[in-house]
Amino acid sequence: MANSTQPITSTRPRMATHSLDLPAICDICGKARSNRNHATCSKIRQQRKNVEWDTYMANVAAKQLQRAQRLRPLR
């Protein structure tokens, strides 16, 4: 029989460790996100962020290339 004074440990980790990084107010239309569908706002946001994501992914690819060149053995 298990002792009831010991805490029960969970066998799996939590699904999320922090809240989502989304504000309650839409940055496109200025209205609350919980009141209506923001599909059009999402499309506009994706178009605005597209350049930012392209530069981010280019930086990631450059870092991976530098790491591969650094790990290459000298002959």
The string of pLDDT tens digits covering residues 63-73 is 998 888 777 66
32 beta partners: 25
**38 Cβ contact list (under 8 Å, min separation 6):** 26, 28, 29
Q: What is the DSSP string of 48-74?
A: HHHHHHHHHHHHHHHHHHHHHHHHSPP
Could you tell me the pTM of the whole model? Answer: 0.44
The string of pLDDT tens digits covering residues 40-61 is 888 898 888 888 888 999 999 9
**32 Cβ contact list (under 8 Å, min separation 6):** 24, 25, 26
